[in-house]
Amino acid sequence: MAKEHKASRRAFLAALAATAAFPAAMPDFAQADDYPLRPVQLIIAYGAGSVGDVSMRVMTEQLSGKLGKPFIVDNRPGAAGIVAAKGAMAAQPDGYTLMLNGNSYAISTAMFKSLPYDAVKDFEPVSLVASFDMLVLTKEGSSMKTFQDVLSYAKTNPGKLNVGTLSSGTTQYLAVELLKVAAGVNVQAVPFRTSPDMATALLRGDLDIALEFYAPMQSLIEGKKVAVIATTGKQRVYFMPDVPTVIEAGVKDYDVSSWNGIVAPKGTPRPVIEKLSKAIIEVLKSPEAQTTGRRLGMVMAGSTPAEAAEKLTSDIKKWSDLQRTANLPKIE
């Protein structure tokens, strides 16, 4: 009898444990099937009206229509994305708080002495959403008609080529530092606080070339006040098919492309991540998203979580390698 009692007790406890474990497993499936049941917040580290803000509002509008609940952009600008990252890290990992990450987070990881977040360990990658290459610009009428002209001048006049960028720690600034290493040239980076300040200096003739993305320079390009002589990605920009890349000019492996992606707080259920990724891939194919991307100089396209993770880690390595090779000072 004692043996039977012990066996029954063990069976009861095993059944109880299984019953207790079952509800704990339920939320993942319930969230995947029913998600979202309420509005979803997307925190971005950019101000209203910025390129990141405009592109994400188009995406969130499309996601709201597809998934049936509002996706709301929450602007939290701040250096190194710290304000946005801290807000996302403090949220419940349930899929109702997302964050826009991207190349800026890879750069911050490489360039800052310390950060209150870990771009890899504290977040779950969901999808890439946009990529955009930089342009090499000259004042219209410049004697530098091609990037080969730029390289030739830089090599025969060490330290004299002035290149307009934004402040240190930006993609624009690091693009110049990468050019020095990749092309073996001595050029002078001239950082500016804002894109309009840099554009004014270029038009005034204070700069030989400038490195900037399409959106801030669009009106000057269309008004034929500046010329685009090269782009900085691996392939030619789809809306400027006649403009060669820096790689085509002979600078091997020179690839400077910025990008944005969506992440969620660490621990967000995998089925929710997968559902979001698939939805983002679909909505970014919409005419509205593609038209906005073209207007902003972006390629709007989603990806798998694995592809988003690989993009972040590869860019962290690229900028960390440059920081060490060029002996760039870490930012306090």
> What are 33-54's pLDDT values in tens digits?
899 999 999 999 999 988 999 9
Segments of the chain scoring below 50 in pLDDT? 1-30
Which are the contacts of 22, defined by CB distance < 8 A and separation ≥ 6? none
Cβ atoms within 10 Å, residue 239: 13
Predicted structure pTM score: 0.87
Q: Do domains 35-132+258-325 and 135-231 have the same CATH topology?
A: yes
Say whether the peptide bond before residue 36 is cis (omega within 30 degrees of 0).
yes
Give the model's pLDDT for residue 290.
96
pLDDT digits (tens, 9 = 90+) for 80-107: 899 999 999 999 999 999 999 999 999 9
Q: Are the C-beta atoms of 289 and 56 separated by less than 8 Å?
A: no
Q: What is the pLDDT of residue 187?
A: 98
pLDDT, position 332? 84
What residue spans define the domains of the chain?
35-132+258-325, 135-231
What integer pLDDT is reported at residue 31 of this predicted model?
53
DSSP character for 245?
B
Confidence (pLDDT) at 16? 40
The per-residue pLDDT for 73 is 97
- What class, spelled out in words, does domain 35-132+258-325 have in CATH? alpha beta
Amino acid occupying residue 199 = A
Q: Which residue has the tokens 């700069």?
A: 207
CA-angle at 82, arms to 75 and 325, nearest 5° = 125
Q: Which token pair is 71?
A: 């996706």
User: What is 135-231's CATH number, 3.40.190.10, 3.50.50.60, 3.30.70.260, 3.10.290.10?
Assistant: 3.40.190.10
3-state percent helix, strand, coil for the chain, nearest multiple of 5? 45, 20, 35
Q: Largest Cα–Cα distance of the chain, in whole Å?
A: 101
Torsions phi, psi of 194, nearest 5? -135, 160
- Report d(CA 306, CA 244) in Å as an integer: 31
Helix 305-325 vs helix 171-183: angle between axes, to the nearest 10 degrees?
60
Report the SS3 class of residue 181.
helix
